[in-house]
Amino acid sequence: MRNRPRIGIFGGTFDPPHIGHQILAMEAYDELKLDTLYWVLAPDPPHKLGLKIAPLDLRIKMVEATTQHDEIFEFSRVDIDRPGPHYVLDTVNIIKIQHPEAELFFVMGGDSLRDLHTWHKPQEFVDACDWLGVMHRPEDKIDLADIEMTFPGITQKIQFIEAPLLEISSYQIRKLISSCKPYRYYLPPEVYKIIVENNLYEDENY
């Protein structure tokens, strides 16, 4: 029996959050045997500086709408209520302080694992996490031996999540909206309503 609560960290710009996010979050919760999965909204992600993103207040509303009906999910303001820049290392360390008794699982995609060497202080990030929940899609090619050479000990922390292959992305949805194409059923109903009411993503620059 385990007596430490398991908390997952599922971060993103969520511009907008969609049903693909919900499905992957559900798989992470189930396969990692989590007690709670935090949706951590990145207000101004460093890798997207200079790009146009939806206003923060509307992205907050969309993530709240996406998570509010499921008790296994919790919307976290950990990066919203502090000044930037917002690096995941700091996010993990703050949540560790808030929940010192918990095991922390950082949920990430296989592409993020391959690009980990480009992150801010990546070795410190790996050291700070108890576990890395890595979304593993059928077409992913991940060289664990190479990653282990760069970050010794990391493979002991990796737990793969067998994620379904979903051809859904926030970028794709934004392009559908700006092109006046159908997009409604890629989204939770409440998120669709927020987008329509605020005329979001109609500008082709998104």
Map out the domains of the chain as residue ranges: 6-170
Helix axes 56-67, 189-197, angle to 10 degrees: 160
What confidence score (pLDDT) does residue 165 get?
A: 74
What confidence score (pLDDT) does residue 2 get?
A: 63
pLDDT tens digits for range 48-72: 666 789 999 999 999 999 999 999 9
What confidence score (pLDDT) does residue 49 get?
A: 64
- Which of the residue ranges 4-13, 40-49, 102-111, 116-125 would you say has the lowest mean pLDDT? 40-49
- How many other C-beta atoms lie within 10 A of the C-beta of residue 164? 11
CATH number of 6-170: 3.40.50.620
Taking the C-alpha atoms of residue 160 and residue 134, their distance in angstroms, rounded to an integer, is 5
Edge-first strand order for the sheet with 158-162 is 73-76, 36-41, 6-12, 103-109, 131-136, 158-162
Q: What are phi and psi of 141, to 5 degrees?
A: -120, 105
What confidence score (pLDDT) does residue 84 get?
A: 84
Taking the C-alpha atoms of residue 176 and residue 173, their distance in angstroms, rounded to an integer, is 5
pTM for the predicted model, two decimal places: 0.92
pLDDT tens digits for range 168-205: 999 999 999 999 999 999 999 999 999 999 999 998 77
pLDDT tens digits for range 18-40: 999 999 999 999 999 999 999 99
Output the average pLDDT for the chain.
93
Q: Averaged over 109-124, what is the pLDDT? A: 94
